[in-house]
Structure formats: C-alpha cells, structure tokens
Chain A
Amino acid sequence: MNRKMKKISSILLFLCFASTALRAQEAQMADTMRSEGKIYALVAIILVILLGLIFFLVFIDRKVSRLEKRMDGKN
C-alpha cells in the first residue's frame, strides 16, 4: 500500500513539474495588448501612413499621365 502511494505521488509530482515546464515553453505574446483592443490603434496608424504615401504616389502618377498627354499633343 505504502509503495503504491509513493508511486502515485511521484507520478503526480512529475505531472505537476511537466505542466509547469510546458507552460514555460509557451512563448510570451502581446495577448494583453490585443485583449484591450490597443492593436487596432496600431493598425489604424499604419494604414493612414500607407494610404497617405499611396495617395502621394497616385498624384504623381496622374501628373505624369497629364504631362505625357501634353507631350503627345505637341508632336
């Protein structure tokens, strides 16, 4: 009986350690920030900058197209 108890308790102890070891292996991620919804602020900021630069590019593109039309008209 005593031996059996020892065996069970050692298995339990092992499982205990194994579970903490597994949890330590789980990498830390920005879960809190995500759960608070702050990630959306980041997404919004990046989108504004990206779209701002793209609009800038579109304006240059249209300007170049207009110049090309004027050049073709001249020839």
Chain B
Amino acid sequence: MKSTWWKIACVVLLVYTAVGGLLFDVPRLNIVNETIRALYFHVPMWFGMVVMFSLSVFYAIRHLRHPSVESDIFSVAYAYVGLAFGILGIITGMIWANYTWGSPWHGDPKQNAAAIALLVYFAYFILRGSVANDEQRARLSAAYNIFAFVAMIPLLFIIPRMTSSMHPGNGGNPGFNTYDLDSRMRLVFYPSVIGWILLGLWIATLRIRIKLMEEKINEQEDEKNK
C-alpha cells in the first residue's frame, strides 16, 4: 500500500487525461458540441465514488464479522473520499446540465436520485458524529453503511433507467458508448477512470495511515494512564 509505483501511475494517467481530454479528437455532435469532453472528467467521479463506497461497505461488513479498530478506520476513510467524489460529480453534472439541458438542476431522475444517494451518505457521517462511544459508533455506522450502499445502487443504476431521464444511458436514452463513445474516446476515458480511482485510493490511504498512527498514540497514552 505504501509502494510508489501506483502513485506514479496515477499521476501519469491524470496528466494524460488532462492533455488527451482537451486535445484529442472527439465526435462532432449537436447540443453537446465541445462539452462532450466533460465525459472524461464528470463520469470518472461517479466511477470513483462507486469504487470507494464499495471498499467502504467491504470493510464495514468485515468490521461486523470481526470487530476491529482498523476495519472501522478503513471503512470511514473510503466513505469520505467516495463522498468527495460524489459531490464533485454532482457539481460537474450541474455545470454540464446548464449547457446541454438548459438549467443546472433539471429535476431529472438521475440528478434527483444522485442527490438522494449523497444525502443517504451524509446521514452516515451525521450518525458517526452523534455517537460518543467508539465501539458503538463503529458498529452502528458499519450497519448503516450497508444500508446506504444498498440504497445507492438502485438510486443510481435502476430507478433512472425505469423512468424518462435525459441523462445518457438512462430512460431509453443511449449511453455515449452506443453511438459515439468510439475507440477515440475510450482511449482517454478508461485511463481517466483508472487515474481518478487511484487518486482516490491515495488520498484514502493517507487518511488511514494518519488514523492508524493516532490509534497507536491513543493506546500508548492509555497504557501510561493505567
């Protein structure tokens, strides 16, 4: 986890995304025009969020099966980064919607569901903040984490597909891949997704390492006070 090769890969991929995302050829489409390039930056935020929340719920389940301080620390760190990705995703989505749909908040099912999913995760942090006992906080928030994850999946991936949504890939609308996410766009899009996910992991591991040290210091202080 502390090795550097994947951090270098992360930097290389993100630099490549910034350069390729702005300079490489993209399909010429009406309405989206040049903003089609936002795909390279807006969509990886959501990919990143789902990966971070998946890791978070993985450690939450592990915590419920074998309670440990470490799995709680891991679970929270990934949830934090996932939430950050989600907020960035919804803001970039609003900017993009302003140009292509005509207003930043269009009340589109995909937008509303994404907002609800984020609120569900906000509640996770409120729950954590409201419990004073460490073990109780870890156990309660791990259980809630599963609930939040299970709520997020249909909110993002099922409900918008069942109604009429203007978001590509939903409500009968083709995703970019069905018409023009051709090989040219995939060449930047997939590296971008991997790069942003690696950046999320990097930030999360920093938080985890700091928290693990803090835990160690707490233990040492407890021993001194005995």
Contact = CB atoms under 8 A, between A and B. Distances in A.
B132 interface: no
Given A60-B206, A61-B206, A68-B209, A27 B29 contact: yes
Interface in B25-45: 28-34
Contacts of A30: 34
B156 interface: no
Given A39-B22, A65-B2, A68-B213, A29 B28 contact: yes
B206 A47 contact: no
DSSP class of B's interface residues: helix, strand, loop or mixed?
helix
A69 to B, nearest CB: 11
Contacts of A25: 30
Given A29-B33, A30-B34, A64-B206, A46 B2 contact: no
Interface in A24-75: 25-30, 39, 42-43, 46-47, 50-51, 54, 57-58, 60-61, 64-65, 67-68, 71, 75
Category for how many chain A residues contact B: 20 to 34
Interface stretch (B11-19, B103-111, B140-148, B186-194): B11-19
Contact of A57 (B18, B19, B22, B202): B202
Given A27-B33, A39-B23, A57-B203, 12 more contacts: A26-B28, A27-B29, A27-B31, A28-B33, A29-B28, A47-B15, A50-B18, A51-B15, A60-B206, A64-B209, A68-B213, A71-B217
